[in-house]
Amino acid sequence: MNKVIIRPNPRKKPLMRYERVLDREVDEHGRVIAENVTQEDNLTRAPGTNYRVCANLSSTTGLINTGLDKTVSNPYKDSKNLPPDWEAVFKDKDTVKLQSLLEYKHGREKGYYTNAPAGKDEVRAENIPFFQSREATFNLNDGITTLDLDKPLDEVKFYVAKSNSRIANSFEELTDQPFYISDKIKEEKRETGTRKLRNSAISKLETLSERNDDAIVKFCQVVGDPLGKVKNLNKEQAYTLLDTYIRDTKDSLSHFTAVFDMWNSQDTRIEFNARALASDLKEYRVIYKRGPQVTWQPPEQEGAIRDKITWDTYEEFITEFMANPKYQKEREEMKLQLEMKKKYAN
């Protein structure tokens, strides 16, 4: 069977948890004395709500966005059994409008799948165009939605979905749309790739965990904001944060792997350590980040107040200053300030 699956955007964070009641036990007075519930943790919308898909009117053309206003290859070009009223549409033509193709394929009259909206006088239900009827709409929930393209109605809905701005045509085209059209073969390859990446990340996490130094704590500092608070972490807390992080999304997996590669390579280890130290400096307010800019107030020198130093961006602060051997003396001053801040913070 020829089926298409529409899935919710996996990058969207769950908005809520919900306990769904499977059954209840009541006493002789009808009062609930026990409930059997299951917890659903990954809902992106309230239970019982959904997104209704329909062919909307275009604000520029005033026509209905049916998804059928395109030219496709004509499979009936050489057909010898065409009804007279369809011969002019298909015979000896290399291409044909998708609307006409589906109308003929589904046994509908010409114009049935029109993209022209109903006129002001067409108020009776029988005069409403197909794409403005309830029959042409369908709902998308949190789970998957399957369309069977062997069924005429589902095939038409598929093209409506393809033309809908809230449904990406593929995972590769997915940005912030709440849904996307899934390709089964690509999906399986992607899931296999993600599984391999996650298994590799788990192995790398164990490598960090087995070390006797504070590499795993520094690792959390470099990963940074996605982990939340990374101040005063011990190794066990760092392990838990990273273990949760690599099980979150493919983006988090990719970020974890990039940071590990930075730590694991001698060529980028200096940058790794610079980013870890910068995170500590920021957490203890040795440096101040306001908007894109980073500012540092150097310590007094022989009783004289020194000028503040400002970098235009955090990345400039990391690459041009923190990872530059030229500024080793200033970094040592920063470390002394950091030690004092930590001392008085504990």
Euclidean distance between CA atoms 163 and 169, whole angstroms: 8
Q: Which of 121-135, 172-186, 187-201, 267-281 has the lowest mean pLDDT?
A: 121-135
Binning pLDDT at 50, 70 and 90, where does residue 25 land? confident
pLDDT at 30: 72
Per-residue pLDDT averaged across 168-189, rounded?
A: 88
pLDDT at 208: 93
Burial 174-200 (b: 16+ CB within 10 A, else e): beebbbbbbbeeeeeeeeeeeeebbee
Instruction: Check pLDDT > 90 for residue 265.
Output: yes
Per-residue pLDDT averaged across 80-92, rounded?
A: 91
Q: Which two tokens stand for residue 214?
A: 């504070």
Residue 85 CB coordination number (10 Å): 10
Residue 34, φ and ψ in degrees, nearest 5: -160, 145
Euclidean distance between CA atoms 274 and 256, whole angstroms: 17
pLDDT at 200: 93
Euclidean distance between CA atoms 152 and 86, whole angstroms: 19
Place of tokens 């002789």: 28
Q: Is 245 within 8 Å of 224 (Cβ atoms)?
A: no
pLDDT at 131: 93
Per-residue pLDDT averaged across 193-219, rounded?
A: 92
Q: Which two tokens stand for residue 287?
A: 């440096």
3-class DSSP assignment, residue 346: coil
Binning pLDDT at 50, 70 and 90, where does residue 185 land? confident
- Alpha-carbon distances of 25 from 20, 28, 31, 88, 197, rounded to whole Å: 15, 10, 8, 67, 45
Per-residue pLDDT averaged across 155-176, rounded?
A: 92
Q: Is 239 within 8 Å of 205 (Cβ atoms)?
A: yes
Euclidean distance between CA atoms 208 and 217, whole angstroms: 9
Residue 212, φ and ψ in degrees, nearest 5: -90, -5
The pTM for the full model equals: 0.58
Give, as one character, the DSSP assignment of residue 119.
P
Instruction: Check pLDDT > 70 for residue 195.
Output: yes
Euclidean distance between CA atoms 4 and 104, whole angstroms: 22
- The residues that bridge with 45 in the sheet, in sequence order, are none
